[in-house]
């Protein structure tokens, strides 16, 4: 048990370090292209900080473990909104722009509804076997993700602002490329040993794969988002923080579960796709709530300024704590 825990921590450190230098290098390259702060958070940073989830979920899918793949994504999205965005709002209220309300927040809700609909799907969509996310649906996720990325980059370019020039001059392009490559290496190797050791610990402790996925794995792979958002809040870059969360959540569903569904390895006698049966009604309900509270926060504050204020942040964190207590008291 002790060795497995040490390996778990080593894998987690590699994942977090890999994500950190990958995001740093990617952001350097992205800013040279004159992208907006929110778009950087939504795409480069959001996708970059979602790579630990991609590695963990893909490892689960390739080993035929749907609970790890789906539980990790759903748990990470819960952590992202309820805990990370909640803590960020407690540090500094997070502004919500008109573009966020008209495009980005609705897409996050639509992606969440698609995941639930596909997972429960035969009676609703009729695209495959009941209670699984099939390869066909995985391709649909990936197509939607590609279309959204193309649209975002076409509509999100702005003139460079002078506030970031001094930071970016410290990094040369070859260094940024090396950071990206090193980040990928850390994520892939660290994610592999992290998920393997987590499964070993879960089995030794008698815990279900779903529980370990929506708690330890989800929390661990969400560390890059947490660090990024706290730093962004401290530097008064709330749009970067919000973009990071929305981009990460959208990437988790459309990109990560899309890839996991396409490359899922069927085990002997197992389902032909990512089985959704490991998720309880409570898991699905809290997951859906987490996608709606950002939109609700835009209309709960006083005045004309739409934002996620400290009261909203406290409410987010309270929901996450209540959910974790429910998980612990309902171990199976």
Q: What is the CATH number of the domain that holds 160?
A: 1.20.1420.30
- Cα→Cα distances 313→81, 310, 318, Å: 9, 5, 9
- Cα→Cα distances 30→22, 53, 152, 243, 273, Å: 12, 22, 13, 14, 35
Q: Residue 21 and residue 19: Cα distance in Å, rounded?
A: 6
Q: Identify whether the C-beta of residue 240 lies closer than 8 Å to the C-beta of residue 232.
A: yes
- Taking the chain (332 residues) in runs of 10, the rounded mean pLDDT of each run is 82 76 72 73 77 76 72 85 92 87 90 86 47 84 91 66 46 78 78 74 73 67 74 78 88 89 70 72 89 89 76 94 86 59
Q: What are phi and psi of 78, to 5 degrees?
A: -65, -50
What is the domain extent for residue 27?
2-329
Query: Which of 8, 6, 14, 9 minimizes the C-alpha distance to 183?
Result: 14
Q: Identify whether the C-beta of residue 51 lies closer than 8 Å to the C-beta of residue 248.
A: no
Q: Residue 250 and residue 44: Cα distance in Å, rounded?
A: 13
Q: Identify whether the C-beta of residue 37 lies closer than 8 Å to the C-beta of residue 245.
A: no
Predicted structure pTM score: 0.75
| pLDDT given for residue 44 in this prediction | 74
Q: Residue 133 and residue 277: Cα distance in Å, rounded?
A: 11
CB contact burial 285-300 (16+ within 10 A = b; e otherwise): ebbebbbebbeebbee
Q: Identify whether the C-beta of residue 282 lies closer than 8 Å to the C-beta of residue 75.
A: no
Number of domains observed in the structure of the chain: 1
| pLDDT given for residue 47 in this prediction | 79
For residue 167 the two structure tokens come to 């930071």
| pLDDT given for residue 160 in this prediction | 44
CB contact burial 217-242 (16+ within 10 A = b; e otherwise): bbbbbbbbbbbbbbebbeeebbbbbb
């Amino acid at each position: 048990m002790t060795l497995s825990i040490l390996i778990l921590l080593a894998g987690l450190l590699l994942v977090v370090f890999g994500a950190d230098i990958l995001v740093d290098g990617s952001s350097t390259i992205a800013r040279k292209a004159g992208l907006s702060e929110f778009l950087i958070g939504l795409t480069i940073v959001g996708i970059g900080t979602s790579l630990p989830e991609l590695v963990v979920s893909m490892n689960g899918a390739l080993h035929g473990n749907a609970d790890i793949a789906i539980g990790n994504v759903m748990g990470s999205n819960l952590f992202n909104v309820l805990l990370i965005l909640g803590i960020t709002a407690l540090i500094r209220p997070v502004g919500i722009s008109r573009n966020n309300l008209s495009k980005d927040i609705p897409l996050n809700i639509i992606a969440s509804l698609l995941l639930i609909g596909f997972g429960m799907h035969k009676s609703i969509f009729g695209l495959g076997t009941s209670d699984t996310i099939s390869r066909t649906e995985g391709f649909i996720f990936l197509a939607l993700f590609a279309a959204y990325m193309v649209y975002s980059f076409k509509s999100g370019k702005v003139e460079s602002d002078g506030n970031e020039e001094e930071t970016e001059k410290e990094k040369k392009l070859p260094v940024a490329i090396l950071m990206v490559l090193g980040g990928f290496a850390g994520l892939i190797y660290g994610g592999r040993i992290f998920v393997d050791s987590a499964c070993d610990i879960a089995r030794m402790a008698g815990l279900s794969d779903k529980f370990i996925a929506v708690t330890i794995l989800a929390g661990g792979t969400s560390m890059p988002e947490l660090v990024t958002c706290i730093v962004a809040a401290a530097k008064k870059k709330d749009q970067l923080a919000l973009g990071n969360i929305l981009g990460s959540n959208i990437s988790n569903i459309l990109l990560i579960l899309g890839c996991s569904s396409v490359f899922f390895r069927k085990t002997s006698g197992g389902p032909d796709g990512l089985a959704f049966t490991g998720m309880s009604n409570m898991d699905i309900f809290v997951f859906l709530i987490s996608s709606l509270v950002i939109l609700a926060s835009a209309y709960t504050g006083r005045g004309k300024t739409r934002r996620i204020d400290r009261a909203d942040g406290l409410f987010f964190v309270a929901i996450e704590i209540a959910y974790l207590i429910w998980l612990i008291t309902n171990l199976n």
